[in-house]
Amino acid sequence: MSNTFNHKTDTSPIIYQIRIKGHLGNPWKEWFAGLNITLEDNGDTLLTGALIDQAALHGLLRKIRDLGLPLLSVIRVNPNLKGLSEHGLNDDLSLNKSCYLENEIAKIFLKQTRKDTKMKAIICTKYGSPDVLQLNEVEKPTPKDNEVLIRVHAASVTAADGMMRKGTPFIGRFFVGLMKPKNPIPGAGFAGEIEGVGKDVKLFKAGDQVFGESTSTFGTYAEFLCLPEDGLLLTKPSNMIYEEAACVCDGPITSLNFLSDVTKTQRGQSVLINAASGSLGTAAVQLAKHFGVEVTGVCSTTNLAMVKSLGADKVIDYTTINFTKTGHTYDIIFDTIGKSSFSHCKGALTQKGIYLSPVLNLPLLLLMIWTSKIGSKKAKFSATGLRPVAELRILLKELKVLIEAGKIKLVIDRCYPLEQTAEAHSYVEKGHKKGNVVITME
Ligand SMILES: NC(=O)c1ccc[n+]([C@@H]2O[C@H](COP(=O)([O-])OP(=O)(O)OC[C@H]3O[C@@H](n4cnc5c(N)ncnc54)[C@H](OP(=O)(O)O)[C@@H]3O)[C@@H](O)[C@H]2O)c1
């Protein structure tokens, strides 16, 4: 870009001052190498410099637009030249032809980039049924110095998202907002592309394809999202599309947490996965196989073939057989939807067997405490999303390796456009999804 700026021209150079919302990150500074860059205290960036002609101004404004930088104003600062007012763009048609043309060019770009300061998002201002999820236009976020701006391509719709939307169980509201959601934009799992970075960001650059979870800040049901660079995000596995990558922080990360951290699954053990066709279940079957255990998947008739194809050694059709009454015992029973209980499964556990459930209720809590002290069979729960981000990032890195090695595949049931997020929630709430459901941005 530097050759478009004229510092030492014989014809009077025109000096412009271009104001952009947000501080320019380091990777973008090279695009504006010929300009003086000032990072203002109010959070704006000022680009000041001489431009040879309208083509140079045009090129610069197009670059600002293409980089997705929110353009606030374009001001000509030469005291002896008129054209663009000091307060922004004006409509003074008495200007000479060339100044008028510049004015028009700048206005078009300002209009285009002003539009870019807004984004489509799903807003949820109260707890309730799926119709509390409303499509709206809101202010596009601006990354802080340590943050990246992500253009979201896909966001997961999970069973947990439905609980956040309803505000149930009530105890969860102490984390997400007592009377209404703290962040009105829901959604946690995402995949997308880095659009811009804050000035201190070192780990990512514009154009990186990333995936992860926004954890407790939510906000992924939107076209753009800001996250700290040390948040739960990594570059996307090369062999995954955005829709698949958006769901890795639901079933796969939770099942990995349960099968490798909550209990250390050992080669040669036998593991039963209940609801092997859900988000956690489809991931758990593949992870358990990877750990070298014998896997029995429990699902309905229609999902038997799918669960087998994921690697389950045996499948049980829950519509005809009660897995707790077959006479078989398992070292681990991972009830991924928490529809059974430790008491029901106890007889189907080996002597030191472990019952795992990702769904906490009072009986399970009491049994966890009880079995941690008494008896050889244990009941265990973990709230994966409440683990420190640094620990979750280790799990996500492990998953990325497994995904790139072809060991874990994401099962995608349905994709919905952002406008149909309420429908996506209604579908997930029925409790019969196969694997994962995704929101895609156009
Ligand atoms: N603690 C944590 O860290 C954590 C993290 C994430 C999620 N969770 C929780 O984990 C739970 C599971 O989430 P998920 O997304 O995996 O669930 P999900 O995908 O919504 O589960 C749906 C699947 O369950 C199957 N299913 C329904 N009833 C069944 C039954 N009686 N027996 C066997 N399978 C049955 C369905 O198959 P059919 O259609 O054939 O019935 C369907 O494929 C949710 O409660 C979620 O909130 C906890």
- For the chain, the three-class secondary structure string (H helix, E strand, C coil) is CHHHECCCCCCCCEEEEEEECCCCCHHHHHHHCCCEEEECCCCCEEEEEEECCHHHHHHHHHHHHHCCCCEEEEEECCCCCCCCCCCCCCCCCCCCHHHHHHHHHHHHHHHHHHHCCEEEEEECCCCCCHHHCEEEEEECCCCCCCEEEEEEEEEEECHHHHHHHHCCCHHHHHHHCCCCCCCCCCCCEEEEEEEEECCCCCCCCCCCEEEEECHHHCCCCECEEEEECCCEEEECCCCCCHHHHCCCCCHHHHHHHHHHHHCCCCCCCEEEEECCCCHHHHHHHHHHHHCCCEEEEEECHHHHHHHHHCCCCEEEECCCCCHHHCCCCEEEEEECCCCCCHHHHHHHEEEEEEEECCCCCHHHHHHHHHHHHCCCCEEECCCHHHCCHHHHHHHHHHHHHHHHCCCCCCCEEEEEEHHHHHHHHHHHHCCCCCCEEEEECC
Q: What is the pLDDT of residue 434?
A: 98
Q: What is the pLDDT of residue 394?
A: 98
In the chain, the domains with their CATH numbers are 2-115 (3.30.70), 119-248+411-440 (3.90.180.10), 251-386 (3.40.50.720)
Out of 298, 315, 337, 391, mutate this one to test ligand 1's pocket (max ligand atoms within 8 Å of CB): namely 337
Q: Name the closest-CA residue to atom 32, ligand 1.
A: 275
Q: For residue 254, how far is its CA from the centre of ligand 1 (angstroms)?
A: 12
Residues of the chain predicted below pLDDT 70: 1-13, 26-27, 78-115
Q: For residue 336, how far is its CA from the centre of ligand 1 (angstroms)?
A: 6
Q: Name the closest-CA residue to atom 14, ligand 1.
A: 279
Q: For residue 337, how far is its CA from the centre of ligand 1 (angstroms)?
A: 4
Q: What is the pLDDT of residue 270?
A: 98
Q: What is the pLDDT of residue 80?
A: 52
Q: Name the closest-CA residue to atom 30, ligand 1.
A: 275
Q: What is the pLDDT of residue 110?
A: 66
Q: What is the pLDDT of residue 12?
A: 64
List ligand 1's pocket residues with C-beta within 6 A. 158-160, 163, 250-251, 254, 274-275, 277-281, 298-300, 303, 318, 336-337, 339, 358-359, 382-385, 431-434
Q: For residue 69, how far is its CA from the centre of ligand 1 (angstroms)?
A: 41
Q: What is the pLDDT of residue 82?
A: 46
pLDDT in tens, 18-37: 888 877 776 677 778 788 88
Q: What is the pLDDT of residue 59?
A: 82
pLDDT in tens, 347-394: 999 999 999 999 999 999 999 999 999 999 999 999 999 999 999 999
